[in-house]
Structure 1
Amino acid sequence: MDVVSDAISAVRTGRPSSNRLLVGGSWCTRLAPYEGAGFHVVLAGSCWLVPDRGGEALTLGAGDVVLLPHGAGHVLADSPGDTARAVPFEEMRRPAGDGGREVELLCGKYRLDRSRTHPLMAELPEVVHLPNRVGHHPELRSAVDLLAQELDERRPGACLALPSLLDLLLIYMVRAWMSEAETGSWPSVLNDPVTTAALRALHSDPAAPWTNDRLAAAAGVSRATLARRFTALVGRAPMAYLTWWRLTLAATRLRDTDASLATVAREAGYGSPYALSHAFSREFGVTPGKYRGAVREDAPA
């Protein structure tokens, strides 16, 4: 696994959901804050997005993609004016063709477990706007085209194809942000060959008996060079990051599987369930068993 894949996998839960919105004329709808990530794809026409918590109103055109990685509340409308007229998204029933240009959007949500958010995901801005520009992010454009085609034709297998395409869309949106980001540390982290090599090694085999010397050898630098560059960019020393990531993996396995504590401990690089339980309790303030019970109890039916 690579860092981006792992960062997304650690927080993704359940299946993404989506709704197709077709409106025309004067319209305005509010999407409430959400404990996950929201997205919009403009399939036809144009509209405006107005964030709840300040920020500049965005004009969206056909082919534009917007990711709201922290589930921020916002308004979608035909104009950026009076947002007080907005009706809840769930109540939008306005038919198309009522005197104005039709607008078609794919609006959806990803369910996320924010208890162990990877710093790469945490530093995404409130709104990631990816305009449709010729030659920019061709894989993202292809995913949008495939989504539109699946929605139009509803061919056999669509019930599997659509969630898979939505998952692919999330990866491409994060990639696109990283390639264009002017702020944030993680685009710089993954552009540094030494830090990237060390992270790739840790994520490829987190259960290995890593030491600073062994990791430095994998990255092809001295121990001092690795410690300096890794800590400066990532914000944690290499072994501190490894401990955090192992416990994050353990939490994900406890949340998503019925694997025994011994299996989870072994996969996370701990010699015994007791060793994992001790480290897990120190990090989370709760034993692995109680953590598993709590997250299962809070999970949507």
Structure 2
Amino acid sequence: MIVYHRAMDPLTGLLDGPRARGAFLLRSVLDPPYALRIEDRAPLTVVALVSGTAWLVPDDAAPATLRPGDVAVLRGPDGYLVADDPATPPQVVIHPGQRCTTLRGEPLAESMALGVRTWGTGPGGSTVLLTGTYQLPGEVSRRLLTALPPLLVVPADEWRSPLVPLLAQEVSRDAPGQAAVLDRLLDLLLIGALRTWFGRADAAPGWYRAAGDPVVGPALRLLANDPAQGWTVAALAAEVGVSRAVLARRFTELVGEPPMAYLTGWRLTLAADLLREPDATLGAVARRVGYASPYALSTAFRRVRGISPSQHRIGGGSAGGGSARGGRAGVLG
């Protein structure tokens, strides 16, 4: 059960969203020269380098090189290249559903399978990559996706996390409950990397920097911790101890949107998570996030997200399906 409590800060609310459900996880063992063209259309991908070197070359961002221990986060659905060198021509294409082929469309899963969740050019390859993919938009909040650039890299020396070696150790194990273990490790790796990245002064979005502002910070915490309250700008300003005009101007300037627009986005983010709870009703979710009726929530949800709450629930609930998620690398075919 998802519980939103009074100690929540805006970053916690944002990072509470990732919920891998039978995520696609793969250990790639490669010898140069190699180049993989990724066209899986996934909304979010996490790449961690265990050994060797690798380049990530997104379609819509500058390329970046990875060193051992570095973690990269790529926002989809646009494609990208993983290669030993940006100039290496692509040899392999990863399609939606993690189907792997040559450039001519010939399947490669069988010929490149190296064991449980392991795949590559040979067991002694000098480059070892871990890739975790959130397959469906319902697994990652829209608010998080819109806060991220197409590619971000967190170098190993910025956070010295034990999660990369732990995930490397666990990814090729075939034990009871292993899929659940890997899902949670992927979530932790993503959350840890993003928390480090958001902490950079040059990377933090406006609302993150605004959390330390003496006027906007308390307002953000009030909205985050009590979204069901019938907030107005005037009521929020009274709680913070400033005029309505001062709060509205300062909030919009630092956060990038007015207080009530921010509140709408936050309520719908919470609703999207709560709707994935198996016993949640639309009416109960509406009350918890501050909508007077299921109809009001449904209308706002459809207007902002483009789908109905029931469509979102069905999509989020299917993330654990499919044949590829927990088994051997051969399922890439």
- TM-score of the alignment, normalized to the shorter chain, above 0.5: yes
Match for residue 296 of structure 1 among 314, 319, 332: 314
Match for residue 142 of structure 2 among 108, 117, 123: 117
Match for residue 27 of structure 1 among 29, 34, 56: 34
Aligned residues: 288
8 Å CA contact 1:15–1:110 kept in 2: the answer is: no
Gaps in structure 2 of 5+ consecutive residues: 1-7, 95-99, 101-107, 113-120, 322-333
Distance 1:163 1:9, change over 3 A: same
Structure 1 residue 65 displacement after superposition: 1.0
The residue number in structure 1 matching 2:47 is 40
The residue number in structure 2 matching 1:3 is 10
The residue number in structure 1 matching 2:247 is 226
The residue number in structure 1 matching 2:130 is 106
CA displacement 1:125-184 (0-9 Å, x = unmatched): 111012222xx224xx22223323434777776443322111011111211221225254
8 Å CA contact 1:40–1:105 kept in 2: the answer is: yes
Match for residue 174 of structure 1 among 178, 194, 207: 194
The residue number in structure 2 matching 1:137 is 159
Structure 2 Cα separation of the partners of residues 241 and 32 of structure 1: 33
Distance 1:95 1:257, change over 3 A: same
The residue number in structure 2 matching 1:188 is 209
Letter of the 1:117 counterpart:
R
Q: Does residue 1:57 correspond to 2:63, yes or no?
A: yes
8 Å CA contact 2:58–2:81 kept in 1: the answer is: yes
Structure 2 Cα separation of the partners of residues 197 and 258 of structure 1: 33
Q: Does residue 1:262 correspond to 2:268, yes or no?
A: no
Which deviates the most, 197-206 or 27-36? 27-36
Q: Does residue 1:75 correspond to 2:75, yes or no?
A: no
Which deviates the most, 233-242 or 169-178? 233-242
CA displacement 1:246-298 (0-9 Å, x = unmatched): 23433443455442232122112123334444545655677x5xx40465268
Gaps in structure 1 of 5+ consecutive residues: none
Secondary structure of 2:292's match? coil
Give the helix-richer structure, 1 or 2: 1
8 Å CA contact 1:2–1:203 kept in 2: the answer is: yes
The residue number in structure 1 matching 2:274 is 253
8 Å CA contact 2:211–2:218 kept in 1: the answer is: no
Distance 1:112 1:195, change over 3 A: farther
Structure 1 Cα separation of the partners of residues 9 and 75 of structure 2: 20
Letter of the 2:148 counterpart:
L
Structure 1 Cα separation of the partners of residues 237 and 198 of structure 2: 26
Q: Does residue 1:95 correspond to 2:122, yes or no?
A: yes
Secondary structure of 1:14's match? coil
Structure 2 Cα separation of the partners of residues 60 and 280 of structure 1: 39
CA displacement 1:196-232 (0-9 Å, x = unmatched): 3222221212112323343234445443332221111
Structure 2 Cα separation of the partners of residues 117 and 267 of structure 1: 19
Aligned-CA RMSD value: 3.2
Distance 1:142 1:267, change over 3 A: same
Q: Does residue 1:146 correspond to 2:166, yes or no?
A: yes
Secondary structure of 1:122's match? helix
Q: Does residue 1:127 correspond to 2:151, yes or no?
A: yes
Letter of the 1:196 counterpart:
G
8 Å CA contact 1:11–1:112 kept in 2: the answer is: no
Letter of the 1:144 counterpart:
V
Structure 1 residue 108 displacement after superposition: 1.4
The residue number in structure 1 matching 2:263 is 242
Match for residue 180 of structure 2 among 141, 160, 166: 160
Q: TM-score, normalised to structure 2's length? A: 0.73
Letter of the 2:38 counterpart:
L
Which deviates the most, 167-176 or 65-74? 65-74
Distance 1:281 1:165, change over 3 A: closer
Structure 1 residue 11 displacement after superposition: 6.6
